Amino acid sequence: MPVFTEHSAASRELRVLPSFAPPLPRLAPQLAENTTEKYEVVIVGAGPAGLMLDLLLARYGLSDESLLCVDSKPTTLKSGQADGLQPRTLETLKSLGLADEILTEGCQMWQVAFWNPSNDKDKIIERTSIVQDVAVPARFPHEVTIHQGRIERILETDLLRYSKRGVQRNTKLIEAKIDEEGDAEFPVLAEIEAEGHRRTVRTKYLVGADGAHSVVRRSMGLKLEGESLDHIWGVVDLVVDTDFPDIRRRCAIHSPAGSVMVIPRERIATGEYLTRLYVQVPGDVKPDSDQQTEDGPNTPPTADARARRGQVTEQTIFENAAAVFKPYYIRPKKDGAVDWWAAYQIGQRVTDSFSVKDSKGVNRVFIAGDACHTHSPKAGQGMNVSMMDSYNLAWKLVYAIHELTPSGSSGQPDPLLDTYHIERHTIAQQLIEFDRDFSSMFSGKIGASEDGVGGLTHDQFLEVFSRGNGFTSGCGIEYPDNITAVRDLRGEKNPIKGTDYLSGVLRPGRRLLNVRLVRHADGYRRDLQDDFASTGRFRILCLASTDLLDPDGTSTQTLTQLGAMIPRFPLSVLEQVAVHPRLEKDFMWTDIPRELKQYSEMSFYSGYEIDDVYGIYGVNPAEGALAVVRPDGYIGVIAALGDVKRVESYLESLIRTI
């Protein structure tokens, strides 16, 4: 199109950049110039938990003046070992705009095959069944496996769009303590060392995301409690040469010679595909007291455990694997095909408190990720639960720091910050309990009732696997009742029918399941979760009833009242998403409340043309319902359609009105 006249505004040049997430408003006074290294948050550790927290806080609005993340290592991951992303983690990454490379270039793991001893002695092992790896509804109904360092690189690349400094590396925490007398506003003292040089920084909040040997945890006198169990495992990442037919599926192989778990991995630059193998080292060892007491004085490891550990080498791992795969062969594809190998002993431990308060009862120090829970890797949970710890903590911290909560600048303890421990400690407990069951069953023998481990059947194993799927996928997580997830109906009738929460029935404390629907304004066939981006905002989800076109109906009254309520809260902190059921006739904007277009022009949907949204969410179209969804995508409260008061009092308990 050759034009003959053209004019453009300077702002137009901004249109070429990738979009930035809008920061949360700040009601707190701006930080004074940061001359003495005082921060609002200091994060120790830049693994998946620390990076995720750093990125979220930066996106929500903490500047480099306010936020510091240090890590003792010189560069991003060299020694990490996680590789699995669960469906709920993928939803979270998608809500941050960070899922695309992972979904495209990671290995999508859709199925799991179970191999067990065969009655036919020539076959030795046989495939008992293949099931879907993710058995619960999820936006991405599969796991993704990919090198942990790649996840960290993706998080860090995005971080550098929001933070000029990024992670301060080669910088180690020596010790931390709470010192209110020195500076009541910045009461946490952290002594850090960079390139042989020590310095002291002060911060309002300190977060330990510094792994299983956390210095923050140790400084605060918190302990990882738990035990080491009695099996040693080897793990290896490599390009394999094999005739085993299910090498590209996740496999649980129980053979007379022991157990192997196969985790297919991503394609690499050579065009070949990686495989991870978890290989059991035969024989039992006694529960191991040295790891149990890592925070106290070291007890020497038992001679038995020490001797067994010394025996684990790359060669023994392959020998053990080869025995389990028989009659199939398996070997590294060629010299140099082994990427990484390691050995570990299963242990499940959790810290009994995830935060430490100052003398006024204000939570000042938090721990997240491996610093508060360690467990076996085989259910693919570690990196996920760790990042989700941060995802839970981040918005709460910024709401407190920005004085968006009712406590505001009162200096009183903010109950919102208590909910981090309440919610995530519950999940950590469930995690180690699940892992204990799953690991022992996996280490046990199947179809071998003659030995001491005791006749575990394939069906029992499959049952634990499937039952655990809601938990392991992250999609079935339910936070306990607390001020951010209110289940108590106070005598009101529950507007939600059904209890199949895993399949989407709305439930405070659970994440809002994605549904597909059609947008009123433009016919865009869209994923609802895309209106719940992780920008730190609360959202009111209004499921209007069939009376929407009645100007005197409950839907209209509700939308009008919501329209009056929203401006009572700080600008942009509250968004509204609305859905309507099938109505008796077509309509235009002029047929529905003005406030609906005002607050939901681009977030108003028909909820029946693709998915049956009302059916999935357990809402009667004749009655409708209201829900508030927290900034992290979990449902905070549910109310009857007309009950705007319940929504308002929930919000008032968490957000300051203006």
Residues 267-296 that bind a copy of itself (CB under 8 A): 267-269, 271, 273, 291
The only residue of 28, 521, 564, 622 in contact with a copy of itself, by rule CB under 8 A: 521
Nearer to a copy of itself, 309 or 487 (CB): 309
Residues 230-259 that bind a copy of itself (CB under 8 A): 235, 237, 243, 245, 247-249
- When asked if residue 523 is in the footprint of a copy of itself (CB under 8 A), the reply is yes
For residue 369, the tally of other CB atoms under 10 A from its CB is 29
Residues 21-40 that bind a copy of itself (CB under 8 A): 22
- When asked if residue 567 is in the footprint of a copy of itself (CB under 8 A), the reply is no
Residues 128-167 that bind a copy of itself (CB under 8 A): 130, 132, 142, 147, 149-150, 152-153
Stretch that binds a copy of itself, among 2-10, 505-513, 639-647, 648-656 (CB under 8 A): 2-10
Strands 625-629 and 107-109, bridge-based pairing: unpaired
The answer to whether the beta carbons of residues 616 and 531 sit under 8 Å apart is no
From the CB of 328, what's the least distance to a copy of itself, in Å?
11
- When asked if residue 5 is in the footprint of a copy of itself (CB under 8 A), the reply is yes
Instruction: Show the site string, 322-341: x = touches a copy of itself by CB under 8 A, - = not.
Output: --------------x-xxxx
| Burial bucket for residue 122 (CB in 10 Å: 0-12, 13-18, 19+) | exposed
599 phi/psi in degrees, rounded to 5: -100, -15
Q: What is the DSSP string of 153-196?
A: HHHHHHHHHH-SS--B-SEEEEEEEE-TTT-SSS-EEEEEEETT
Residues 449-508 that bind a copy of itself (CB under 8 A): none
From the CB of 15, what's the least distance to a copy of itself, in Å?
4
- When asked if residue 315 is in the footprint of a copy of itself (CB under 8 A), the reply is no
CA–CA dist 386, 46 (Å, integer): 12
Nearer to a copy of itself, 275 or 392 (CB): 275
Name residue 175's amino acid: E
CA–CA dist 538, 236 (Å, integer): 43
Residues 96-125 that bind a copy of itself (CB under 8 A): 97, 100-101, 104-105, 108-111
The answer to whether the beta carbons of residues 61 and 23 sit under 8 Å apart is yes
* Segment holding 382, helix H or strand E: helix 382-401
For residue 409, the tally of other CB atoms under 10 A from its CB is 10
Nearer to a copy of itself, 343 or 397 (CB): 343
Residues 173-212 that bind a copy of itself (CB under 8 A): 212
Q: What is the DSSP string of 545-578?
A: -TTTT-TTSHHHHHHHHHHHHGGGSPTTSEEEEE
CA–CA dist 150, 334 (Å, integer): 24
From the CB of 317, what's the least distance to a copy of itself, in Å?
10
Nearer to a copy of itself, 245 or 551 (CB): 245
Nearer to a copy of itself, 144 or 176 (CB): 144
Nearer to a copy of itself, 400 or 475 (CB): 475
Instruction: Show the site string, 568-597: x = touches a copy of itself by CB under 8 A, - = not.
Output: --------------------xxx-------
- When asked if residue 312 is in the footprint of a copy of itself (CB under 8 A), the reply is yes
Strands 224-238 and 338-351, bridge-based pairing: antiparallel
From the CB of 98, what's the least distance to a copy of itself, in Å?
11
CA–CA dist 189, 204 (Å, integer): 9
647 phi/psi in degrees, rounded to 5: -65, -45
From the CB of 457, what's the least distance to a copy of itself, in Å?
23
